[in-house]
Amino acid sequence: MAVDTGASHSAATAAGEMREPPRSDRWRYRIGSVLLALLLVGVWQALPATGLVSSIVIPPFTDTVYELGSLVTSDFFWGHFGITLNEILWGFVLGTVIGFVSGVILGVWEPAKRLTYPFVVAFQSIPKIVLAPLFISWFGYGQSSKIATAVAISFFPVLINTMVGLETVPIDALRLMRSLKASRSQVFWKVSLPSAAPLIFAGIKTALTFALIGAIVGEFVGASQGLGYLLDTYNFSLRIDRVFAVIFILGAIGAFFFFALEWLDRKLIYWRQDEL
């Protein structure tokens, strides 16, 4: 038995080493990413500078950076920023809660899934941009209509991933819990939910991106404030340098919250074995 235990320990150690890349490799990839970013910036700067692309279509990178600094130091910008950020966060939170609760119900209660799942899929098949004018007529031109659009777009990934995660719990784990006379709630909290957690978090991270899209789409359709409103205004006046600056800011918002969720994912779901 000692030999078998040692062999198992060696195999587990080897598997762990395969999952964790050497530190030198991690630094190599980081340096490669920086070099790739510098290359893209150089190409971006060179295209309008050499006349290959009109500066109206793609402004020089330096002009975009200058306008980015001008925007974030202006008095009016942070009001628009706060409005869009509020819409994104509320849409993300409400969409996640609705998607999770609905996914749990459909994942553990088969009659509910058979009864409502076709309607859920049909609703998801509707292009959400066509709902934005409807939400404006219901909730007005304020933030509520944008939050509703963000919720309508973001809840579905959480719902699907929660439902699929709960349906793919290892059967051996369920049999073990039944043999121990565990209640349905104990099975859910101790086996089903932890097993589905990686998929649920993947859906939550997708929902964040969709909530950002929903908020901006809602502002495109009808708004007088927000980053989407600024994008529409600058695009109409052909201030493409400022359009790119606002796009940078939206990308920074999405990246910040995505990596925050990545960090939370690693902390909460520590038992997951990441595949490289």
Terminal C-alpha separation, the chain: 32
What are 78's two structure tokens? 């942070």
Asked which of 189-193, 197-201, 230-234, 257-261 is least confident by mean pLDDT, the reply is 189-193
Residue-wise pLDDT for 80-127, tens only, equals: 999 999 999 999 999 999 999 998 888 888 888 888 888 888 887 888
- Between 256 and 275, where is the model more confident? 256
Q: What sign for the dihedral angle of Cα 94, 100, 102, 103?
A: positive
Residue 9 has pLDDT above 90, yes or no: no
Confidence tier at 5 by pLDDT (50, 70, 90): very low
What are 83's two structure tokens? 């409005």
Task: Give the pLDDT confidence score for residue 275 in this predicted structure.
Answer: 43
Task: Tell me the pTM.
Answer: 0.79
| Residue of 247, 214, 199, 274 whose CA lies nearest to 18 | 274
Q: Which residue has the tokens 């009659």?
A: 111
Task: Give the pLDDT confidence score for residue 187 in this predicted structure.
Answer: 77
260-276: b (≥16 Cβ within 10 Å) or e: ebeeebeeeeeeeeeee
Task: Give the pLDDT confidence score for residue 21 in this predicted structure.
Answer: 57
Q: Determine the Cα–Cα distance for residues 216 and 232; give it in Å rounded to an integer.
A: 10
| Residue of 223, 218, 212 whose CA lies nearest to 130 | 218
Confidence tier at 211 by pLDDT (50, 70, 90): very high
Query: CB-based burial of residue 182 (10 Å sphere; 0-12 exposed, 13-18 middle, 19+ buried)?
Result: middle
Q: Determine the Cα–Cα distance for residues 72 and 228; give it in Å rounded to an integer.
A: 15
Averaged pLDDT, 181-206: 83
Q: Which residue has the tokens 């109409």?
A: 236
User: Which of 10-14, 53-57, 236-240 is predicted most confidently?
Assistant: 236-240
- Between 19 and 67, where is the model more confident? 67
Residue-wise pLDDT for 136-176, tens only, equals: 888 888 888 899 989 988 888 999 999 888 888 777 777 77
Q: Determine the Cα–Cα distance for residues 13 and 20; give it in Å rounded to an integer.
A: 11
Task: Give the pLDDT confidence score for residue 16 in this predicted structure.
Answer: 44
- Answer yes or no: are the C-beta atoms of 208 and 202 closer than 8 Å: no
Averaged pLDDT, 227-241: 88
Averaged pLDDT, 211-224: 87
Asked which of 6-10, 40-44, 177-181 is least confident by mean pLDDT, the reply is 6-10
pLDDT > 90: what percent of the chain?
A: 18
